Structure 1
Amino acid sequence: MKKWLLAGAAAFLLSGPAMTLVTTPAHAQVKQGGSMTVTYKDDVSTLDPAIGYDWQNWSMIKSLFDGLMDYKPGTTELVPDLAESYEISDDGLTYIFKLRQGVKFHNGREMTAADVKYSLERVVNPATQSPGAGFFGAIKGFDAASAEAGTALEGVTAVDDATVKIELSRPDATFLHVMALNFAHVVPAEEVEKYGADFGKHPVGTGAFKLAEWTLGQRVVFERNADYYHEGLPRLDQIVFEVGQEPIVALLRLERGEVDVAGDGIPPAKFLETKNDPKFKDMIVEGSQLHTGYVTMNVKMPPFDNLKVRQAVNMAINKDRIVRIINGRAVPANQPLPPLMPGYDESYEGFAFDPAKAKALLAEAGFADGFDTELFVANTDPQPRIAQAIQQDLAEIGIKAAIKSLAQANVIAAGGEEDQAPMIWSGGMAWIADFPDPSNFYGPILGCGGAVPGGWNWSWYCNEELDARAVKADSMADPSQADARIEEWKKIFTAIQDEAPWVPVFNEQRFTIRSDRLAGPDGIFVDPVHIPVHYDYVYAKDAQ
């Protein structure tokens, strides 16, 4: 076994075979106490980590529960959490996690290895109906446990109260990222069994906050967990989530000092006015997301089976103009991976906007007079307006694209059929990574495994050679291979874009607006993983 990561009083962050010390942000000048109010338009669906999977409850769940792994605040860098240390076998098939001692659930009971085993078995149990069950497919015995309720997950063993052994059926370099997902967060069996399907309304975890109140349709209140194992966290005593608040009303209330964070962000109709208003200058926080918006071209449908046609489409679309349509809330993209994602190639140039060259390429492909096609788009603003801009750009080179504006579910269904959607603008459905690893941008949306009926690979692009390289890259589980693995993913994604199954259009930026009485370390108000806010690290400047 190789011991790759340790965390005692301080946390160590893995970077290839070397280890770098990560220190907790200094809080000597920060006072404990205070409250913050966050607004949302919609009610919270659930706070069960095995079930919750939308951007609203994601960060809330992460403040109630913990997993073996997490990310350095404001970054995509893995750090240990409930795990104090871990070891990986030479073949990459066995992980042994040593747990922190003295960690308590909100009900006062100390967490043990048996709770980790229970939580993982619960999430893959088909009776739980977890949308995240598939992430654990590499664990030995997954097929049996996910097929029949109550079947033990063979690959997970509680060696003793402080030691968990997890055996995989295949090496998986993303496994530690999976252990940082909400779905892997640890829950106490007695509370789940007590509340059954209602556990999501009565959550009990080990997190920085615990549930104090939930009035359906009105508000959810978190209070500080005084027994939290991360010394000095959280800084706030209370968080109040008010639901049923229209975003424009929330913005007005924030301006009046009644709200601290507008959870739904700045309303699009008020974005430029708010951004340009001097009084909001220090209250708006911008950050990158693990997001790419793109146009797919179905390579199984002529004429998009022709590389020159796909290249021409890439050169025809004016991405800067599209970014202007959404008031600058994105940056133009030239490759599938977003800039924040490991494997993004800063040197890659892609296809520059060049209508004249695009028209010449169409002529070389045998379409000097252009052709007719269809562009599918979700029918919620601003997606149809973006589709119209794309339509106008394509018309400039002779491509007449009829827009099919449909409900999002219908667009997704059409993309999952081999011969239904020649082109799709992915806006509103664009890919946001489940975790910060390039493989998550490949398999579902560009790999052969996603090019199946009902799949999310709407370009129906399948390069078996690249697929084999992707499998090999994800088998590079030895941390000493981390840098080489990312370099391989970089080459895979630029090779894909050279074949142009997509037009990467933009990488959306997240803008959070907060009251000026709140502060925290860099990045936590637009945390790329604890979307949208890493609540554990927020503090009130006026705390008494």
Structure 2
Amino acid sequence: MKKLSSLGLLFLLILFLSGVSQIAFAAENPQYGGTLHLSNDADWDTLDPAYASGFDAGEMAVKFYDGLVRFDFSSNKIVADLAESWEVKNNNQNFIFHLRKGVKFHNGVEFTAQDVKYTFERLYDPEVASPGTWVYPMIKGTAAKLAGESAELAGVKVIDDYTIEFDLSEPFGLFLTHLTLPYGLIVNQSAVEKYGADFSQHPVGTGPFKFVEWEHDNKLVMKANQDYWAGRPYVDQVIYRVIPQPLTDIAEFEANNLDRTVVPEEERERWLNDPEWSDYITTIADLSTYYLALNSDFEPLDNPQVREAINYAIDSKTITDSLFPYYVAANDAIPEGMPGGSDLPIKADPEKAKQLLTEAGYPDGFELDIWVSDSSTSVRVGGVLQALLGRVGIQVNLIKNDWSVFYNTVKNGNAPAYYLSWWADYADPYNFLNALYTTDRIPFNNQEINSLLKEMTITTDTDQRIRLSQQIIKLADQVGDPYIYLYHTSTSYVKHPWVKGDLYHQMYTADKLLTWWIDQDLKAESTN
């Protein structure tokens, strides 16, 4: 497993100390009441779980809805949510969930197993056209339902009002983890039918908050669900403001108009070294990997030796040192702090790169088009890649386009090389390795890696999953990895001292704002 930087250790320490913080949290006598003021850098495209394909939508949806299971607030462990308990049978192929009784949707309708069945059948309704159908193809009958050949999902069976069974077409050890994704949040049929096409603007779930109003591109307001089955949130209300510009956002924080926010990357050094705020800043390692992808449909990238030469030419440490001093230089796909990473060294050796290019028949190098989006960060990274590859004779043409043109070109396999990232859908190395090594964007298809990925889908043994992940990483390196891994990001958050019980979790679906509270006396004292 890769070594942890101080940043990775910091996050693990946060998780380890979570039990202590819970004790301290309880000792502080949490207060009910008040309004929590937060922000987001973009408007939400939907509040309907069936369409929640982005992080912003998924992060917001868990405030209004619950799933059968969720992530623990202080770890990546899967814990009960609307399902009180479950049984796993037939080698991870049958899952029986025993549901909570007495839970009600925000419209007053009682939650039952029929709602679970409806949620998953709606997800695979061809007329709904959900982007989340990739998440549960292992459930029996999804293909037939999606094709319009069946009115029901054969693999979702209601046993009684509070018991439901999922039958999978094959063993899948990550099924519980997949249920934490926003697409698995449970909706109510009567609410969906009431609002129709407007359901995405009027969320009705069983979650800790009820919808109040949504002024697009301005604000979204929610209030505490006083009857929430797990106990009402401490705050009475949450107001999210849409603030696209980071510097405007941090200015609003300094003016006491926001209770917590993200420290802009360009201002991290100032804030982290400010004695007034340093005690109120928390930095966590993101589950992210940024990389340069090499498409072997284009010569000479079809030559594994050329791909290896490019790997040796690019020093990920140079990129982080010059552009992102608070990020971690990458040596593989697995983010810092996640089990399953390797001990592969960062290949920073221009002379070795030149040697490999000569052996591959390119002693004078060649021209390479690298596609990037027109964001300032992408262009800056592209510039560094251009300089590093230029040292070994590879002349880089930086192709800059707006996101839609860039992404469509990449998605259709028409970019020889491109700079992109992968952010975790859930906290497991399989989510990174499967996404990268089985994608249609590049024609990489290694049968041994495919076989190892298949093993990862079956086993729930943590040690075995780590071993398989490390095997895949090393095998990809041996056959000329189509990815040059550049860096893993982190995020720093700053809060006002009156904000208590705030969570810092790697998974975007984990925080339901249940633990947050406001010290009203301290806020009054600090703002007067």
TM-score by length of 2: 0.89
* Alignment deviations for residues 263-320 of structure 1 (CA, whole Å, 9 cap, x no partner): xx33444444444433332333211122100011122322222223222211221222
Question: Separation in 2 of the partners of 1:219 and 1:411?
Answer: 30
Larger deviation, residues 23-32 vs 187-196: 23-32
- Which among 353, 356, 379 is matched to residue 384 of structure 1? 379
* Alignment deviations for residues 159-193 of structure 1 (CA, whole Å, 9 cap, x no partner): 01110111111111221111111111111111111
- Which among 393, 415, 426 is matched to residue 435 of structure 1? 426
Question: Separation in 1 of the partners of 2:217 and 2:412?
Answer: 38
1:31-180 superposed matches below 5 A: 31-148=31-148, 151-180=151-180
Change (3 A) 1:391 1:533: farther
Matching residue of 1:339: 336
Matching residue of 2:241: 242
Question: Separation in 1 of the partners of 2:300 and 2:56?
Answer: 41
CA offset at residue 328 of structure 1?
Answer: 2.4
Question: Separation in 2 of the partners of 1:497 and 1:537?
Answer: 43
- Which among 402, 413, 424 is matched to residue 418 of structure 2? 424
Question: Separation in 1 of the partners of 2:53 and 2:62?
Answer: 11
Question: Separation in 2 of the partners of 1:323 and 1:149?
Answer: 52
Question: Separation in 2 of the partners of 1:196 and 1:48?
Answer: 11
Matching residue of 2:361: 366
Matching residue of 1:497: 477
For the residue of structure 2 that corresponds to 1:384, the secondary structure is helix
* Alignment deviations for residues 241-267 of structure 1 (CA, whole Å, 9 cap, x no partner): 1225643222112112121133xx334
Change (3 A) 1:119 1:312: same
1:380-529 superposed matches below 5 A: 380-418=375-413, 420-426=414-420, 430-447=421-438, 450=439, 455=440, 457-458=441-442, 460-476=443-459, 479=460, 481-498=461-478, 499-520=480-501, 524-525=503-504, 527-529=505-507
CA offset at residue 543 of structure 1?
Answer: 6.5
TM-score by length of 1: 0.86
Larger deviation, residues 288-297 vs 319-328: 319-328
CA RMSD in angstroms, aligned pairs only: 2.4
> In 2, are the aligned partners of 1:104 and 1:206 still within 8 Å (CA)?
yes
1:222-301 superposed matches below 5 A: 222-231=222-231, 233-244=232-243, 246-262=245-261, 265-301=262-298
Larger deviation, residues 323-332 vs 505-514: 323-332
Change (3 A) 1:185 1:424: same
* Alignment deviations for residues 379-399 of structure 1 (CA, whole Å, 9 cap, x no partner): 111111111111101111111
* Alignment deviations for residues 393-420 of structure 1 (CA, whole Å, 9 cap, x no partner): 11111111111112223233333445x3
Change (3 A) 1:149 1:284: farther
For the residue of structure 1 that corresponds to 2:367, the secondary structure is strand
Structure having the higher helix fraction is: 2
Q: How many residues align?
A: 501
- Which among 310, 314, 326 is matched to residue 313 of structure 1? 310
Question: Separation in 1 of the partners of 2:408 and 2:54?
Answer: 20
1:210-225 superposed matches below 5 A: 210-225=210-225
Q: Which runs of 5+ in 1 are unaligned?
A: 1-20
Larger deviation, residues 127-136 vs 351-360: 351-360
Q: Structure 1 stretches (4+) deviating beyond 4 angstroms?
A: 21-24, 531-534
Residue identity over aligned pairs, in percent, reads 31
For the residue of structure 2 that corresponds to 1:203, the secondary structure is coil
> In 2, are the aligned partners of 1:289 and 1:340 still within 8 Å (CA)?
no
- Which among 333, 343, 349 is matched to residue 344 of structure 2? 349
Which amino acid counterpart does residue 242 of structure 1 have in structure 2? Answer: R
CA offset at residue 151 of structure 1?
Answer: 1.6
> In 1, are the aligned partners of 2:71 and 2:510 still within 8 Å (CA)?
no
